[in-house]
Amino acid sequence: MLHIILARFIKLILLCVLLMLASVSFAGSDPMNPYPLPEGGYARMLIHLEPYANEDLRKVELLVGKTMEIDCNLHSLSGTLERQIIDGRGYSFYILRNAEGPGASTMMACPPGEEKKEAFVLVRGDEQLLRYNSKLPMVVYVPTGFEVRYRIWATVEEARHAIAK
């Protein structure tokens, strides 16, 4: 009877050790594993955010665009930043779609003799102010030649009251 109890105890200890080893190997795995590889003609861009005590007071603004030679006019690129979710995980990632063509610009006449210059031209859109979450990488897929830059927006904890009129 004692040898059966001892055998079960040893099996339980071995099972615990195996579970601990499995959790260590999972924790050390590549955090990019759940995210798909980029499609042909696309690059996968990563943003790793610093942890903060109250991340609900912060937002991340994605600045997606490319460096181009432009004149004195205001320029922007067209495109749609689509949010997608990995099935079974709930992790978000973003894909820039429909980013073809030279984009839009104002049509002012530039001063005579003014030379063109290199500048970062943005894709304009609505879905570019996102929730701050330092626990997961922010993953953005963009066509080759595009860049992803970002800004951190922060606010104070105190909310203000609206006035009824």
Q: In sequence order, what DSSP letters do the residues of the chain get, joined into one string?
A: -HHHHHHHHHHHHHHHHHHHHHHHHHHTS-TTTTSPPPPTTEEEEEE-PPP-S-GGGEEEEEEEEEEEEE-SS-EEB--EEEEEE-TTT--EEEEEE---S--EE--PPPPTTPPPEEEEEEBP-STTEEE--TTS-EEEEEETT-EEEEEEEE--SPPPPP---
Residue 61 has pLDDT above 90, yes or no: yes
Convert the pLDDT of each residue in 33-44 to its tens digit: 889 999 999 999
pLDDT over 70, % of the chain: 84
Domain ranges across the chain: 1-30, 37-108+116-154
Q: Could you say which of 2.60.120.10, 2.60.40.550, 2.40.110.10, 1.10.287.130 is the CATH number of the domain covering 37-108+116-154?
A: 2.60.40.550
Residue 25 has a pLDDT of: 45
Residue 27 has a pLDDT of: 44
- pLDDT bin (cut points 50, 70, 90) of residue 47 is very high
Residue 38 has a pLDDT of: 93
In this prediction the pTM is 0.74
pLDDT over 90, % of the chain: 51
